[in-house]
Amino acid sequence: PPRGLLAVACSIDAFAVGVSFAFMTLNIWLSVIIIGVTTGLFSAAGLYIGRAFGSRWQKPAQIAGGIVLILIGRYR
């Protein structure tokens, strides 16, 4: 697939959400706050989980990540 395909798909998705918000009767600022807080909480949870399990799973995760990168390079 072309390099920018994921970026285009993400842009289309963001455009669709923006247009949907424009046609809905809702408080845009409340939506922004809810989306921001949810994203922040999930990011914080990911950091916490990563720190808690990082020492135990660091080496296997690095190996798995390397294999994935090799496969991406191989079948691209």
Give the tokens for residue 48.
């916490």
67 versus 9: which is more confidently predicted?
Answer: 67
**Contact (Cβ atoms closer than 8 angstroms) between residue 2 and residue 9:** no
For residues 2-13, average pLDDT: 81
User: Residue 10 and residue 17: Cα distance in Å, rounded?
Assistant: 11
| 20 has pLDDT over 60 | yes
Question: Is residue 18 scored above 80 in pLDDT?
Answer: yes
Reported as a pLDDT band with limits 50, 70 and 90, residue 22 is confident
pTM of the model: 0.56
Rounded CA gap, 68 and 42, in Å? Answer: 24
Look-up of token digits 């424009």: 22
The predicted-structure confidence for 49-76, as pLDDT tens digits, reads as follows 888 888 788 889 899 999 999 998 887 6
SS3 65: helix
